[in-house]
C-alpha cells in the first residue's frame, strides 16, 4: 500500500504519477512501467513502484518472462 501520498492535494481525482507516463497511479495498472501489472507484482512479492524488480529474480528467469 502506498497510503496517503497525494502529490495533488487540491484535486481529489489526481494522484502522484510514479512513472510519469501521464496516467495517475490510481488509474495506472502498472505504476512503474516495467510491463508487469501491479497486482501481479504483489502476487510475486515484488514492489509495484519499483521499476527494476520485474527483471530481478533468484532463479535466472526474470519475473517478466514468467509472467
Which residues would be at the binding site for Ca ion (CB under 5 A)?
Answer: 17, 19, 21, 23, 28, 30, 32-34, 36, 41, 46, 50, 53
Rounded to the nearest whole angstrom, what is the least distance from the CB of residue 50 to Ca ion in the complex?
4
Rounded to the nearest whole angstrom, what is the least distance from the CB of residue 44 to Ca ion in the complex?
9
Rounded to the nearest whole angstrom, what is the least distance from the CB of residue 42 to Ca ion in the complex?
10
Closest CA to 54 of 38, 46, 39: 46
What would the DSSP string read from start to end of 22-60?
Answer: SS-TTT-S-TT-SSS-HHHHHHTT--TT-TTGGG--SSS
Amino acid at each position: 500500500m502506498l497510503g496517503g501520498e497525494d502529490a495533488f492535494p487540491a484535486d481529489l481525482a489526481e494522484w502522484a504519477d510514479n512513472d510519469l507516463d501521464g496516467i495517475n497511479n490510481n488509474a495506472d495498472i502498472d505504476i512503474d512501467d516495467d510491463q508487469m501489472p501491479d497486482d501481479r507484482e504483489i502476487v510475486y512479492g515484488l514492489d509495484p513502484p519499483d521499476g527494476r524488480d520485474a527483471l530481478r529474480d533468484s532463479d535466472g528467469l526474470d519475473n517478466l518472462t514468467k509472467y
